[in-house]
Structure 1
């Protein structure tokens, strides 16, 4: 058992975060996701939207929740990583499970406090995401099928993302900023399609290296490509449903981001080898969420 002096822990955690929770990726994703979801939720009511102090509480809460879940993933994937990823921090001893659990406890307290200062509803909504993540860790430990079957695992793990989206939207409803209606469900479906497009894209390839957990291994590369492209199409469909009736054709400009998955699908199928073009998948997430946030500011 590794013993670490307390003064060393912050530096060790910092190195873990920089490697396994790259700020340029995860912080950017959390920021754009919250701004796009909150901005669109307000904009579809015809009201001008501007970020507020509450917006930044939601951004910080979602980013820290993603870090909490990443730390949890590192622990529940330890057995797999020992075989297939021996350089991971938890495997090498660069960080310990005790350090990660301590950091997770601090994150939970900080996020709960931030949200409880606004409302009990906000605190309960974000805690639901934490609780579901912990439930998943226990479930994967008990069920080899949930742990090892990729599509089943996705079916039971994705709701944690839905809970985080529900936290953002529910917080707006609790504050009286928006009224809960079908548009909220459509916005959450839009975010789900954007996330799932990226999720399938990053785990789609014509070849499956040893230890790789790919959706294409079970579905086949062509069917995986169809599902990946289908989620991008679903994101466009949700935007048309939400914004087409608002009168301005500029409101549908975020849909232009769909050119990226369209080109990536064509390239992937034509190549017949290699992984899905990762730049296109990342670009679709960034372009869609950034365009939605800008749209909410410019076209209330």
Structure 2
């Protein structure tokens, strides 16, 4: 690569990030997820939550880790994108695999430095998530079954998100802010149900266009819709288990379940198209915002 091209790399990476990791969606999700998880964990100790400097290290670490995963996915999906998404940056040459790998190395170094300011446990936990993602990329290259079977692929790739959730909760437990008890598992399950509701919603449709990787293609539209709705119900059940002792006011985040209920009804009645994504997006954003608000106000 020439010197001129090297000087262009930051701009090329910036364009990649703006297109493939839009701040209003991907970064906003990382922000809300990390804040909701920390805030809920702290509120369960009986203390109203307030963000600290460590909070913003966790938030930034989650967002940067999600960006790392997006860069990795772009490389993993290259062969598929050449056929079905020829306008993707890596396919068109708007970015190269070497540039993405360099950016991933820089992100790893930055995440290590950020979390060294928290604790050795924080460094270990964040690097564990990145390391698992890299192992999965190697596994997908070796196994067409893991790569091409949607449900199996989800089963082996989703634990990366679980590890990021463990990073947030684990760093809180490491500094003595929260206990490492049964509530940690329920809270992480709550976050998983919220995310997986959206994941299934965006890949549930009555029709399967060529090249589309839909869960409904394997499960069928109705069963995929049932799983989508069940995940939202699972999130509500987790909130009841965690927050019922606070009384009715503690369960206000459960009101966002009206959105998946409406989405399911509309999807089944339409018998065409996909799950209404505004309802799924609203459920994710609304639940996280409600959890943050609840933790900020209620002891």
2:254 corresponds to which residue? 255
Q: CA deviation at 1:249?
A: 1.1
**Using a 3 Å threshold, how does the CA distance of structure 1 residues 256 and 138 change in structure 2: closer, same or farther?**
same
2:177 corresponds to which residue? 177
CA RMSD of aligned residues (A): 1.1
Q: What TM-score comes out, normalization by structure 2 length? A: 0.99
- Report the number of matched residues: 299
After superposing on structure 2, the runs of 4+ consecutive aligned residues of structure 1 that deviate more than 6 Å are 1-4
Q: Which runs of structure 2 are paired with 1:96-175 in the superposition (5 Å)?
A: 96-175=96-175
Greater CA deviation, 288-297 or 4-13? Answer: 4-13
Aligned counterparts of 2:46 and 2:169: Cα–Cα separation in 1: 17
Q: Which runs of structure 2 are paired with 1:234-249 in the superposition (5 Å)?
A: 234-246=234-246, 248-249=247-248
1:231 corresponds to which residue? 231
Q: What TM-score comes out, normalization by structure 1 length? A: 0.98
Aligned counterparts of 2:52 and 2:222: Cα–Cα separation in 1: 44
Q: Which runs of structure 2 are paired with 1:1-300 in the superposition (5 Å)?
A: 5-246=5-246, 248-300=247-299
Task: State whether residues 41 and 178 of structure 1, in contact with CA within 8 Å, keep that contact through their aligned partners in structure 2.
Answer: yes
Aligned counterparts of 1:281 and 1:4: Cα–Cα separation in 2: 44
Q: CA deviation at 1:4?
A: 6.5
Aligned counterparts of 2:293 and 2:57: Cα–Cα separation in 1: 20
Aligned counterparts of 2:106 and 2:115: Cα–Cα separation in 1: 14
Q: CA deviation at 1:2?
A: 9.9
* 1:7-61 Cα distance to aligned partner (Å, 9 max, x none): 1000000000000000100111011001100000010111121000000000000
Q: CA deviation at 1:81?
A: 0.2
Stretches of structure 2 lacking an aligned partner (at least 5 in a row): none
Aligned counterparts of 1:6 and 1:290: Cα–Cα separation in 2: 41
**Using a 3 Å threshold, how does the CA distance of structure 1 residues 4 and 77 change in structure 2: closer, same or farther?**
farther
Stretches of structure 1 lacking an aligned partner (at least 5 in a row): none
